[in-house]
Chain A
Amino acid sequence: MSAPTTHRTAEEIGRTGTGPRPLPPLGDTREVPLPDVTTTTLPNGLRVLAAHRSGVPMVEMRLRVPFAAPGDTADPAFTARAELLSSTMLTGTATRDRVGIDDELASVGADLGVAVDPERVLVHGSGLAAGLPVMVGVLADVLTAAAYPDREVVRERERLVERISVARAQPSTVAREALQRKRFGSHPVALEMPTGEAVAAVEAIEVRALHRAGIVPRGSTLVLVGDIDPDAAIAAVTEQLAGWTSSARAHELGAPPMPAPSDLELVHRAGSVQSQLRLSAPAPRRADPRYAAFQLANLVFGGYFSSRWMENIREDKGYTYGAHSGVEFLPGGAVLGVETDVASDVTAAALLETRYELGRMTAVPPTVDEIDAARRYAIGALLISLDSQGGLASTLAALDADGLSVDWLRERPVRLEAVTPEEVAEIALEFFAPSRFTGVIVGDAEVVGPRLRALGGISTGGIA
C-alpha cells in the first residue's frame, strides 16, 4: 500500500457516523496493598525497617543519618564540608579503594550513592536481593572506616567546584536559592549548596573529623525493601553493622520559622528568556487531622494536571509548559510551593492569573466534582507510587523521618474518602489566601519589571 495522496479535513477527522460515545463506568479500586514492616532498634541505636516486596529479585536500601549544621544559623563552612563528605564517602576505606568499592558492588549488580541536604545525609542504593550481604558489608566498611584519602578529596574538591558552577547556571537553582533565602533567611535549612570558595577551603582532615562526629547510628534509620525475608535481613544487618558505634546522637535539624507573608522579590537574571515564579506559604503537616482535606484542596488548585491553575495558564492561556503546587515537609512544619516557568513577555500576566486562582480557592471553593476527581487521583496515585520497591522504600524513609509509620499510609484511602466539601472549603480559606504568600520571581528585570511592579506586591531584590 502507499501513502494517501489526499486526506480528510480536520473537521472530517473529528467526526464519525456513530457520533460521540459514552464513557465506560469505573470499577471498584482494590485496597492499596502494603506489606508488614518489621521495625527494630539495634544495640548501637540504629533503627531498622524491613519489608518484603517481591516482583523483581532486588532490594532497595535507604540509610538516613540526620546531619544538621551545629548552630541556629546557616554555616557556610559546615555546608561545604558536608557536601565534600557526601561526594567522597565512597572513595576509599582502610581496606578498599574507590575502584575496589565499586567493583565489589557491581559484582552483585548493586549501586550505592550518597546525598546530603540541610537535614540529613542519605546513603541510598539497590542491588540484587541475593547480594544484600555484600551491599551491607561494603556499607559497614564505609560507615566505620571511610578513609577520605587526601588524593581523592583533593580531586573531588576540584570537581565539586566545577559542578557547583554548572548548577548555579541553571535558572531553577537560582530560583531555589533565592526562594530559600526569602522563606527561611539565615536558618540552616536555607543553605542547600555551598559556594565554590567555601568548598575549595575544605581539607581532608576536616572531612574525616566530620564523619567521625556526625555519621553515627543513634538517631539514624536504615530502610530495606525488596525480595527479602525481613527477619533474616535484620539479623544479618545487626551482625554486619555491630561495629558501627558512637556515644553521640545524630544531629537533627531544628524547626525553621515559618515564612511570613511578604512582597515577591524580583531577582534579576540578565538575558533570561523565561521567568521562574516561586510562591510559598505555610502548610499543615502530615500528622495534622486536616492534612487529607489540604491534600485535596492542593490537587484542585495546582497539584495535578487537571487542576484549576494548570488548566488556566497552560491549556487556556499557553503561558507555560508546566505549573505545579506541592508540599515540602520540614522539621516541625511544612510549606506549600507554587511553581511555574513562563516566557518573559507573559510573566506579569501569569502572576495575575496565579493570584486570581489562589483567590478563587478561597472565594469559590472546590466543587463536589472537583473534590471527587482529586480524591480518585490521590488514591490511584498512591497505589501507583507504592507499586515498586523503590517507591515504597523512599516513602517509608520519608514517613519515618516525620515520626509516622506504614499505618499512616494504610489509613490514607479511608481518610481521603471521609473528607467533606466543607472541610476542603475551610482549609482552602485558611491556607490558599493570596495574602498569606511570599516568594520570588527570577527573570530579566529590565524586561519583566515594569509590568510586574504595576501589579503591586513586588520588591526589587538582588542579582543572580
Chain B
Amino acid sequence: MTLPNGLRVLLVPDPATPVVGVAVHVDVGFRSEPEGRTGFAHLFEHLMFQGSESLEKLAHFRHVQGSGGIFNGSTHQDYTDYFEVLPGAALERALFLEADRLRAPKLTEENLRNQVDVVKEEIRLNVLNRPYGGFPWILLPPVLYDTFPNAHNGYGDFSELEQASLDDAASFFDTFYAPGNAMVTVHGDFGSAGGVDGVMALVEKHFGDIPARPTPVRPSFGEPVPGSEKRQSVPDAHAPLPALAVGYRVPDPTTDLDGYLGHSLLASVLSEGEAARLQRRLVHADGLVTDVSASNGLMGGPLDARDPDTFTITAVHPGTVDPDRVLGAIDEELDKLAAEGPSTDELARQSARWAAALHHEDDRVMYRMLGLGARELLYGRAEIATELPARIAAVTPEQVRAAAEALRSAGRAVLLVEPAAGEEGDA
C-alpha cells in the first residue's frame, strides 16, 4: 500500500506473538553519500535519534524503552533502517515516534558535534583499536571497485566526519528522507490496534500528513567487472596472524535471482559446516588456515544490497603459510566445483540447514520484520523473504557449478592483511 504522500506501507500481522515491530526503511545508504563526506549516511542515522518537533533530545530513547521496547538503526550499502520492537499495546506510540522524526527531525549543531564524537568512538571500538578492524567490509571494496560509491569507506574518515555541517544534514534529509523514498513496515501483534485495518488507520493518522517531496532519482552504481586480479596489502598493528580476503562480483539479484542464489549456495558448499569444501581442504586436509569463511554479500548476508554486490572468501592463516598457497587451494576447490558441481546430497544438506537457519531467524519479530522490509525496499518484493526457503531448495547442482565457473572466469580482488606489530604493537 502507498499513502498519497508516496510513503510505502507494509503490514504483516502475526497473532502468535505478544510483541510488535515498527521499522522505517529509507532508500539511501552509504553508497549515496557525497564525495568528501564519507560516513555521512551513518552519521545522519545517528542524528535521527536526537529529537524531533515533538520530542526533545533523549526523548525518543526514553519513550521507546519506557514503553517496554527496544530500538536500533543501521546503515547499509543501499538503505538505512530504523526500528523498534515493543509490547503490542505500545504500537500507536511507536508509530508516533517514527512519524515525528520522519516529518520534522530536530537537527542542531550541538547534537551534530556530539554525534560526531560518538561515531568516532564507534569507529575506534570497531576498527582502529582491534585486530582485523573493518575486515573485509571496509578494506576489500577499494580493491575490487573503482568508483567512489562502491569503493569508499562507509564508516568515514575522521577528517571528513569532522567537516560535516548542519547544512549538509539539512540537504541530505530533504533530498533522501522524502516520504516517497521511504517505507514503513509493521509486523507482529495487531490485536490491540484493531487488526490490519486498525493499524492502517493509525499509520495514516501519524504518517499521512508528512508533505510529499520530490523523490531523488536513484543512480546506477554499476561498474565493469574487473578482467584480472587486483591485489593490495594493508598493515594491521593489532593482528597477530595474517589474513586474506578474496572479492568477486555476483549476478544482479533484481534481474537474475536464481543466478544470485546459486552463488549463495556456493558460499554454503564452500564454508558452511565441517563437511564444507574449504573447511575440509584448507582447515583440515592441508592445515593452511586457522579459519575460513565464504559469504555472498559484502555485509555478511545475502539479499542486503542492489547491484553491484560482492562475494567474499576470508581466511586467517599462520605467518608461515604463503598467502598464494591459500589462494591456490581456493582456486583448485572452485575449479573442482566448476567442473563437476556439488553432489545432490551435499546440496540438499546445505539447503536443509539454510532453511532451518531462516526459520530460526523468523522466530524473532525483529529479524523477520527487517528481512521483509529490506527485501520490499530493495527489490519491491517482500515475498522474497517468505519464498526464500522454497527457492533455496530449488537451486540445482548445475546452478552452483555455474556460479563456481563464473567466479573462476572473471577478475577478482585480493586483500592481504599483514601483521605490523612493531613500534606501535602490543606488548
A residues adjacent to B (C-beta < 8 A): 1-4, 7-10, 12-16, 18-30, 32-33, 54-58, 90, 98-99, 101-103, 106-111, 126-128, 155, 158-159, 162-163, 165-166, 168-172, 268-274, 304-306, 311, 314-322, 341-343, 372-373, 376-377, 379-381, 383-384, 387-391, 463-464
Contacts and interface: CB of A to CB of B under 8 A. Distances in A.
B237 interface: yes
A32 B87 CA distance: 10
Interface of B: 16-19, 52-54, 57-58, 61-63, 65-71, 85-90, 92-93, 96, 100, 103-108, 113-122, 124-125, 128-131, 166-167, 169-171, 173-175, 192, 209, 213-217, 237-241, 273-275, 280, 283-284, 287, 290-291, 316, 318, 348-350, 352-353, 355-357, 359-360, 362-365, 424-427
A455 B108 CA distance: 34
A155 B279 CA distance: 12
A290 B175 CA distance: 53
A14 B105 contact: yes
A379 B68 contact: yes
Nearest to A340: B121
B353 A106 contact: yes
A13 B104 contact: yes
Contacts of A13: 104-105, 107, 170, 173-174
Given A58-B359, A107-B349, A127-B356, A26 B175 contact: no
B125 to A, nearest CB: 5
B275 A103 contact: yes
A155 B274 CA distance: 14
A25 B93 CA distance: 7
Contacts of A103: 275, 349
A54 to B, nearest CB: 7
A271 B54 contact: no
A30 B280 contact: no
B170 A320 contact: no
Contacts of A319: 117, 121
A110 B274 CA distance: 13
Contacts of A166: 131, 239-241, 290, 316
B195 to A, nearest CB: 15
B52 A109 contact: no
Given A10-B108, A103-B275, A318-B114, A383 B19 contact: yes
A438 to B, nearest CB: 24
A109 to B, nearest CB: 3
B129 A372 contact: no
27 contacts: A14-B105, A18-B209, A23-B54, A23-B96, A29-B68, A54-B16, A107-B348, A109-B356, A111-B356, A126-B356, A159-B283, A159-B290, A163-B290, A169-B240, A170-B130, A272-B129, A306-B61, A306-B62, A315-B114, A318-B121, A320-B118, A342-B121, A376-B65, A376-B67, A380-B67, A383-B87, A464-B426
A120 B115 CA distance: 41
A9 B108 CA distance: 11
Contact of B117 (A22, A168, A172, A318): A318
Given A16-B53, A270-B424, A29 B87 contact: yes
Contacts of A7: 170-171, 173-175
B68 A377 contact: yes
B372 to A, nearest CB: 15
B130 A318 contact: no
Contact of A314 (B87, B118, B169, B348): B118
A383 B18 contact: yes
A341 B238 contact: no
B163 to A, nearest CB: 16
B118 A318 contact: yes
A316 B50 CA distance: 11
A103 B65 CA distance: 43
A111 B363 contact: no
Contacts of B316: 162, 166
Contacts of B171: 7
B136 to A, nearest CB: 16
Nearest to A32: B18
Contacts of A155: 283-284, 287
B291 A163 contact: yes
Contacts of B192: 27-28
Contacts of B217: 1-3
Given A4-B174, A13-B170, A108 B427 contact: no
Contact of B57 (A16, A98, A315, A463): A315
Contacts of A25: 93
A13 B92 CA distance: 24
A12 B105 CA distance: 10
A155 B287 CA distance: 7
Contact of A109 (B124, B130, B275, B352): B352
Contacts of A317: 117
Contact of B96 (A24, A165, A170): A24
Given A110-B353, A274-B129, A343-B121, 4 more contacts: A24-B93, A56-B362, A101-B274, A316-B114
A21 B130 contact: no
A56 B14 CA distance: 12
Contacts of A56: 359-360, 362-363
Contacts of B167: 9-10
Contacts of A273: 124, 128-129
A158 B287 contact: yes
Nearest to B424: A271
B238 A169 contact: yes
Given A23-B63, A109-B352, A155-B287, A99 B280 contact: yes
A110 B360 CA distance: 11
Contacts of B17: 55, 387
A433 to B, nearest CB: 26
Contact of A171 (B86, B120, B130, B175): B130
A409 to B, nearest CB: 14
A111 B131 CA distance: 28
A165 B240 contact: yes
Contacts of B426: 169, 269-271, 464
